Structures are given as structure tokens and as C-alpha cells.
Amino acid sequence: MDHVTAIDSYVRELDRRLHGPRRRKADMIVEVRDGLRDAADAVRAGSPGVSPAEAERQAVEEFGPVPDLAPEFQTELAVTQAWRTAWVFAVALPLVMTVTTLMWRGGGSGVEPGAAYLDLARATDLFLIVASVSFAVALLALHVLARRAASPVGLVRTVGVAALCTVLAMMVSGLFLTMGAPGGGISLWGALVGGLPTLPGYGLLFYLGVRCLRLTRPRRPGAGRPSRRPAPVPSA
């Protein structure tokens, strides 16, 4: 085995097992590779007679088996994904509410909406406000859990489920508001067709929620489960 094979083989196996935000994963792999190379250099500095290949082998052995360490790295990736998801929702939901309100006011038909329609519109606005605040609180909670040595896995899954439920609620509410618009209500089919331009945005938000759940799901045999040990505080 040549000088780089032990470390490169270790890094390739770790890379294969990890799933998550690509930039953070790439940074993580680089950090591991650099750490192993520094450890191998330290072995050779302390024992000049040790061959480069043996120094790498010792560095990899001291670092620990990939199956044991991968779950901890995977948890960090899951937390990063949850942090990004919560950030997007915390910012996007107030924007959605603002845009839809302006569109409703600017495109009004002059017909006074009924009580049921107003109740649904107000409930939708209240839901968006509460959801946005909740996702903002989730951002803080992810930091607090990490600093207090608590497991963030449950919160990551909660963020994922909340994201999916929020998107579905927004879509259903939008359909009903479109169908029951005063003076301009349309059929269900018409509302579905008219909502096609919003599907990419909803699809992205839905994907973020699914991603949170997938990154905390147990992998194939040997890949291990996400670690329940605290993860480093995430960044955007």
C-alpha cells in the first residue's frame, strides 16, 4: 500500500457513507483528510524509522473505524440541513404572506368577501406568522441543543415534519382561497391549473422537509444510525 492509499481509502469510505449538504460534506471530508495527514506526519516525526505507509495506517487506526464515526458526521450534516431548512421557512413565509396580501388588494373585484372567506384568509395569515416564528425558534433551539450536549436528531426530524405540514397547509389553503375568491371564484381544476407557476417554489420547500427526514433515517446495514451525540453548532 503506497503512502496515500490508507488515508485516501478511509476518506473514500467515509464520503460514500455520508449524505447531506454538499458544501458542508466536502469541507468535512477535507478536514478529515488533512487531520489524518497531520497525524501521519506526527507519527513519522516521533518515530523517524516508521515508513510513510505504516504512519498512515497508524493514523487511520487511531482516528477510529468509519462505521463508528460516520453516524456522528451524519448527524452534523443533518443538523446543517435542518438549520438551512428552518432559515428558509422563517424568511420565506412572511414574504409569501406579504406578496399574497398585496396581490389580493391589488386584484380585488370590488365584491365584499363573505365571512367564511375572511375567516380562512385570517387563519392562513395567522398560521404563516406562527409557522415563521416557530422556524425561527427552531434555529435558536438547534444552537442551544448543540451547546448543552443534547441530541439534535429529534429536532431535525421535527423541522422536517413541520416543513412538510406547512407546505401542504399552504397549498390546501391557497386552493380554497382561489376557489372561493369573491367575484372571481373558479373550479378546483381551474385553481390547480392556475397554481402551476407556484409548484417549483412549493416543490423546493417540500424537498427541504423531505431532506431533513432522509438524513436522519437509518441507512443500509453497516451504515449505522444517526448519532444522538451533540453536533457542532451549524452555520448557513
Pairwise CA distance, residues 51 & 54, whole Å: 5
Cα radius of gyration (the chain): 25
Per-residue model confidence (pLDDT) at position 118 = 85
Q: How far apart are the first and last CA of the chain?
A: 39
Which residues of the chain register pLDDT less than 50?
1-3, 221-224, 227-233, 235-236
pLDDT computed for residue 209 by the predictor = 95
* pLDDT confidence of residue 224: 46
CA distance 82 to 143: 11
Mark out the alpha helices in the chain (DSSP H runs).
5-17, 22-46, 52-63, 66-106, 115-147, 153-179, 188-194, 199-215
Sign for the CA dihedral angle at 155, 158, 159, 160 comes to positive
Phi and psi angles of residue 200, each rounded to the nearest 5 degrees, phi first? -60, -40
What's the confidence (pLDDT) of residue 107? 54
